[in-house]
Structure 1
Amino acid sequence: MKILEKNSNESVNSIGKGSVLDGSINAPGDIRIDGVVKGALIAGGRLVLGKSGKIEGDVQCGSAVISGELKANITSKDLLILKETAQLYGDIKTEKISIEPGAMFSGRCEMGPSPGGLKQQAANIFMSNDKTKTTTTDQKKESNKKDNEKKI
């Protein structure tokens, strides 16, 4: 399962139990929070919010496993897992979600590929190429038709 694989290219950032960080975090890779973060958090990789962890600020991440308390909106590009001890107070935007029995969630949830996501970009390119092929074929037919009319 992709969410459980360690990101080997990046080091894992960590806020330990008992630590309190007042401010925003922008981590290019994975991050684990077992303390308290009061501010926005952006993680390019995976966010793991431990049982003792708490975040009070909007979150954007590649994927997330939530076991602690999140008082904010969260946008996860891939998979969001709410473990049985999770408490989430805020809105969710994610492509996929897993909610274990016992998890608490209060807010709205929007699921599916994001408009700017890679899958959507690939689909747009495919559709664009498909339209180009159709146009080119139609143009060739029209050109051949005109050539035939000139010969007559």
Structure 2
Amino acid sequence: MMKFGKSSSNITTSNAPVSDLKGFLGDGTEIKGELSFSEMLRVDGSISGKIKSDSGTLLVGERGYIKASVEAANVSVSGTIEGTVTAKNKVEIHPTGKVFGDVYTQALIIEHGAVFDGKCHMTGREIPAKTEPVEK
């Protein structure tokens, strides 16, 4: 069952206000296929396939399980993600979070106790050009 709208309970894993939450996939709910969203989505259920948001924030709760490629502006993980994660701004892996796959982002925050098994590719940064030593 998907619930949309505002909730009075504190169900986010980050410091974002609950009023910002626009979608919720509850525990015991499963989606297979492609999912797109805007703004903020919390997942406590299971998603397999592809998740895409150009400007949204994906919150994966402690009971959330995602086996998919993920594209979002921000990703906050307290559950499990298996697959490539691409975030325009940042990826946060909280103490109960597990990410198995490569991460492409400008900022990666891994808290003590979290699991990250993959490669991190820092995006949005220019690689300085090699400079030749100056001869005197």
TM-score, normalisation: structure 1? 0.68
- Cα shift at 1:5: 3.5
**Is it true that 1:74 corresponds to 2:100 in the alignment?**
no
Counterparts of 1:1-152 in structure 2, within 5 Å, are 4-6=15-17, 12-43=22-53, 44-113=55-124
Distance 1:15 1:107, change over 3 A: same
- Cα shift at 1:38: 0.9
Higher strand share: 2
Count of matched residue pairs: 112
- Cα shift at 1:4: 3.2
- Cα shift at 1:11: 5.8
* Alignment-mate amino acid for residue 76 of structure 1: A
Q: Contact 1:7 / 1:45 at 8 angstroms: preserved in 2? A: no
* Alignment-mate amino acid for residue 27 of structure 1: F
Task: Give the structure 2 partner of residue 137 of structure 1.
Answer: none
* Alignment-mate amino acid for residue 19 of structure 1: T
Pick 1 or 2: higher relative contact order, CA cutoff 8 A, min separation 6.
Answer: 2
CA deviation profile, 1:63-100 (whole Å, cap 9, x unmatched): 11100010000001111110001111100001011100
* Alignment-mate amino acid for residue 84 of structure 1: P
Identity of aligned residues (%): 27
- Cα shift at 1:15: 0.7
Distance 1:6 1:42 in 2: 22
Unpaired runs of 5+ residues, structure 1, are 116-152
2:68 counterpart SS class: coil
Distance 1:114 1:36, change over 3 A: farther
TM-score, normalisation: structure 2? 0.75
Name the Cα RMSD after superposition. 2.0
Distance 1:112 1:86, change over 3 A: same
Q: Which runs of 4+ in 1 moved over 2 A?
A: 3-8
Q: Contact 2:81 / 2:99 at 8 angstroms: preserved in 1? A: yes
